[in-house]
Amino acid sequence: MREPSKDCGQALLLVMWAMFIMCFSILGLIRLLNVTIGTSSALERVAIASSLAYAGTTMGRNAEFPANGKPQNRKFPDGGEMEIVVVSENGKLNINKLLANQDRETPRALFRLWGLNDVEADTVLDCLLDYVEPGSTRRLNGAKVEQYRMAGRPAPSGKLFRSVDEMANVLNFDVVVRNKENWRDYFTIYGDGTLDLTSAPLDLIKVVCKVGDSSARALIQGQSGEGAGIQDLEAARLAMGMTEKEFQALGGVVSMGGKIRRVRAKGTLMQASRTIEVICRTDSPPAILAWREW
């Protein structure tokens, strides 16, 4: 028998090396497939959570769905969950309407309630008005392009606010931010300009209705259902202990409910969750005014 040649040994080594490379590649491919399958499952869970959140916003946009700020939960046999929270956007102050109407009294009273002194409150108001008005003429305590340039800030837009967050860019608004951490919860750029007494917070009831702490708290108690409940403006008036003349003096700046609402819906499946928040109009024709998801 002839002994294996040197060339045959080299060929055998090459074959063995090729098989090793192939086995290594197959193992890597299997591992990649497993990762892909796992990732797909996670993506599917996120997709289902997104679908649940979208379905929740659809339910919340219905005018018949209660806009009382209380979470409404739904659970499904496959383990999916849905949480819907709906509030009237009229429960906040529409900053654009206040500024367009040159209403200084309402925001000034709110800023004073938050601890600003008279000079600070007037300065903030002058700066807010200067920010949204075109032109270079500034108010006594206001600020225009030159003042923003000196402060190293972007120049004012000369237009109404496009978002509540934009208010933080206003020169001297920092004092409000320092005094009231959750100031954003009190303002909106949507709404019809009236204050919804079914969802307004304590501070806004006090400054808009011009009532004391006890009267505002009595209304809040009615909102939460702990009292007799608030069904209409007359019930709200009685809850606050206001006379008919005092209530009429509000001049139609208060309302019950509203056609513009904020709907937040969260869909969950296992560890995957998605949240969608929309601001919508429920009257005819219905419309979505803003959309945000995370």
Return the pLDDT at 29: 38
Instruction: Work out the angle at residue 62's Cα, subtended by the Cα atoms of residues 266 and 276, and round it to the nearest 5 degrees.
Output: 25
Average pLDDT over residues 96-102: 95
Residue 73, pLDDT > 70, answer yes
- Bridge partners of 261, per DSSP, are 88, 280
Structural domains in the chain plus CATH codes: 36-88+260-293 (3.30.1300), 93-190 (1.10.40.60), 193-257 (no CATH)
Has residue 40 got a pLDDT over 80? no
The band of 186, judged by pLDDT with boundaries at 50, 70 and 90, is very high
Query: Per-residue pLDDT for 76 more than 60?
Result: yes
Residue 67 pLDDT = 86
pLDDT at 7 (0 to 100)? 54
Rounded distance between C-alpha atoms, residue 80 and residue 8, angstroms: 63
SS3 for 174?
A: helix
The per-residue DSSP string of 12-42 comes to HHHHHHHHHHHHHHHHHHHHHHHHHHHHHHH
As a whole number of angstroms, the distance between CA 279 and CA 284 comes to: 15
Give the pLDDT confidence score for residue 229 in this predicted structure: 63
Torsion of CA 229, 232, 236, 242, to 10 degrees: -140
Neighbour tally for 62: CB within 10 Å: 13
pLDDT on residue 224: 66
pTM (2 decimals)? 0.77
pLDDT tens digits along 202-226: 999 999 999 999 999 999 887 765 5
| CA pair distance 172, 169, nearest whole angstrom | 9
Q: What is the pLDDT of residue 91?
A: 92
pLDDT in tens, 253-289: 999 877 899 999 999 998 899 999 999 998 888 899 9
Residue 98: what pLDDT?
A: 96
Inform me whether the pLDDT recorded for 47 exceeds 60: yes
Mean pLDDT of 112-116: 98
Beta-bridge partners for 85? 264
Of 227, 225, 246, 229, give the one whose Cα is nearest residue 237: 246
